[in-house]
Amino acid sequence: MRKIKKFSAPEPSMRRLPAYLHVLSRIFKENQTFVSCTTISRQLRLDPTQVRKDLALTGIVGKPRVGYPVEELIGNIKAFLGWDIQRNAVLVGVGSLGTAILGYQQFRLYGLNIIAAFDRDPAQIGRNIFGVNVYPIEKLPEIAVRHQIELGIITVNADSAQEVADLMIRGFIRGIWNFAPKPLEVPNEVVVENALLSVSLGVLTSKLKQIESNRTS
């Protein structure tokens, strides 16, 4: 039996790629056709070698002394992140965060095609939020199967998050983007990405705290 080597990209690299994309899209708008990794690294305060390694992951080939072709590089990064194809998605919980995500048109550029929203609250059912209809939560598995939904976005509170995840699993959803502060139990084949806003706030406030304590000591 041949050992199957599963390729898995380093997560730190994956997390830097979207930032490259933002820098590159501005460079593209300025009609530059080539860009060097030092140009990118300076804007993001990263090590140029690190940028080169990250870009190499996407399969891009640069020209010595010239740099990387901007348009092709943008395409490669998007393909690498899986943003080159549209994926149908549903969102559960049309509170303020859920509504914000429904309204964030940028996500379409990343292949996120939210085709339905769900909520437990009868007052929300039947609403149309930024062009997306709100259905009762019980309908999720049926609608997910019918529309071949790949992604589920959870923007309910922590207490309901697991039930919502279970409904998504019954609807054969393959990836869950979880904004609820609750670790989810899911089968192995389902991918969960937790997007805790508090993580980012914690990094900020703990750095501020460290600066304060370094100053006084």
Partner DNA sequence: TAGATTGTTAATCGATTAACAATC
d(CA 116, CA 151): 11
Residue 206: both structure tokens together: 């703990």
- Out of a second copy, DNA, none, what residue 2 binds, judged by CB under 5 to 8 A for its kind, is none
Residue 136 to residues 64, 97, 116, 127, 153: CA-CA distances in angstroms? 57, 18, 10, 11, 15
The least CB distance from residue 112 to a second copy, in Å, is: 7
List strand residue ranges (DSSP E) for 31-139, in order: 34-35, 68-69, 87-92, 112-119, 128-129, 132-136
Q: Near a second copy by CB under 8 A, which window of 31-39, 67-75, 108-116, 137-145?
A: 108-116
How far apart, in whole angstroms, are the C-alpha atoms of residue 149 and residue 2? 34
CB of 8 to DNA, least distance (A): 8
Residue selected from 32, 36, 39, 43 as contacting a second copy according to rule CB under 8 A: 43
- 14 near a second copy, rule: CB under 8 A: yes
User: Which residue number, 167 or 173, has a Cβ lying nearer to a second copy?
Assistant: 173
Tokens of 190: 């389902």
* Closest CB 14 distance from DNA, rounded Å: 10
Residue 186's SS3 state is: coil
β-strands 68-69, 34-35 pairing: antiparallel
- Residues numbered 117 to 146 that lie near a second copy (CB under 8 A) are none
Contact footprint for a second copy (CB under 8 A): 4, 6-9, 11, 14-15, 17-19, 22-23, 43-45, 80-83, 87, 95-97, 99-104, 106-107, 110-112, 150-151, 158, 174-175, 177, 181-183, 189, 191, 193-211, 213-214, 217
